[in-house]
């Protein structure tokens, strides 16, 4: 497939090299990720550029890593699983992401869908991620400082919604911003969380639990 990731050096050296990324992709396959499109994008996306330089050597381990402000860049397996579930019924045009964080999940979605709209509530993270995505040449991404409880109605409705933070209950606005037939992948719960896939059928929403999960909490308001 043609993967539109441009504007940066993909090769890296040592622990950030293509060979290191290929090892990660093999791990993801072993862990049950089947979508070749998702695996191909994971193979070329430079996760080491989405974490602090001091952590770059750990970027291709299959673990979450701190990105500051009490938040983490999601585990590669989780990113792959969520993306695969979101795309499983066919190609998506417009996707809303709640919780930009480092921008890594945004970068994985970007070549796989027509447009990504991504919101983040912590200003310094939002600013850094937006700048990083622009520098790396992700042209079909719009990022904004906003509380995702309200979705991003100006650009909706969305064919897909993906949340990287867990609310106790799925916000009504997010459900309303799904197109008929649209899909949402979101972790739900507090101490015990489940990753769920919600599909809209008119005014009815079906829910399927994908697996247990451990995400940061979905919080309201903007943090400056």
Please give the residue ranges that form the binding site for ligand SAH (CB under 6 A): 67, 71-74, 98-99, 101-102, 104-105, 119-122, 125, 147-149, 164-165, 216, 218-220
**CA 220 – CA 61 distance, rounded (Å):** 31
> What would the two tokens of residue 59 be?
């970027």
> Closest CB to ligand SAH among 114 and 123?
123
State phi, psi for 62 to the nearest 5 degrees: -85, 65
Nearest residue (CB) to ligand SAH, 16 versus 102: 102
Closest distance between ligand SAH and the C-beta of residue 81, in Å?
A: 12
In angstroms, what is the minimal distance from the CB of 212 to ligand SAH?
17
Output 92 or 215, the one with its CB closest to ligand SAH: 215
| Smallest gap from residue 204 Cβ to ligand SAH (A) | 25
Taking the complex as a whole, the smallest distance from the CB of residue 117 to ligand SAH amounts, in Å, to 12
Alpha helices in 120-186 (DSSP H): 123-135, 172-176
C-alpha dist (Å) from residue 136 to 5, 65, 110, 205? 8, 21, 12, 37
Rounded CA separation 175/182 (Å)? 9
Instruction: Tell me whether residue 167 or residue 182 sits nearer to ligand SAH (CB atom).
Output: 167
Q: Which of 17, 35, 74, 173 is catalytic?
A: 74
- Please, which residues have CB within 8 angstroms of residue 212's CB and are 6 or more apart in sequence? 192, 193, 194, 195
* DSSP code of residue 119: E
Q: Are 118 and 144 spatial neighbours (Cβ–Cβ below 8 Å)?
A: yes
- Of the pair 92, 145, the CB lying nearest ligand SAH is at 145
74 in active site: yes
If phi > 0 it is left, if psi is from -120 to 50 it is alpha, else beta; for residue 101 that is left
Quote the least distance from Cβ 213 to ligand SAH, whole Å: 12
Q: Supply the residues annotated as catalytic.
A: 74
């Amino acid at each position: 497939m043609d993967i539109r990731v441009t504007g940066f050096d993909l090769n890296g050296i040592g622990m950030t090299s293509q060979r290191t990324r290929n090892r990660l992709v093999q791990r993801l396959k072993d862990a049950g990720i089947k979508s070749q499109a998702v695996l191909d994008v994971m193979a070329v996306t430079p996760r080491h550029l989405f974490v602090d330089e001091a952590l770059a050597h750990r970027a291709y381990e299959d673990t979450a890593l701190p990105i500051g402000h009490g938040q983490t860049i999601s585990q590669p397996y989780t990113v792959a699983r969520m993306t695969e579930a979101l795309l499983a019924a066919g190609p998506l045009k417009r996707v809303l992401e709640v919780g930009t964080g480092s921008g890594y999940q945004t970068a994985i979605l970007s070549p796989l869908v027509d447009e990504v709209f991504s919101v983040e509530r912590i200003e310094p993270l939002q600013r850094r991620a937006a700048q990083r995505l622009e520098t790396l040449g992700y042209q079909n991404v719009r990022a904004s400082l906003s509380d995702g409880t309200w979705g991003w109605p100006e650009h909706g409705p969305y064919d897909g919604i993906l949340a990287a933070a867990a609310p106790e209950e799925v916000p009504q606005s997010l459900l309303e911003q799904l197109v008929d037939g649209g899909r949402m992948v979101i972790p739900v719960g507090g101490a015990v969380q489940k990753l769920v896939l919600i599909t809209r059928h008119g005014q009815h929403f079906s829910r399927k639990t994908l697996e247990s999960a451990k995400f940061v909490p979905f919080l309201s308001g903007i943090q400056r």
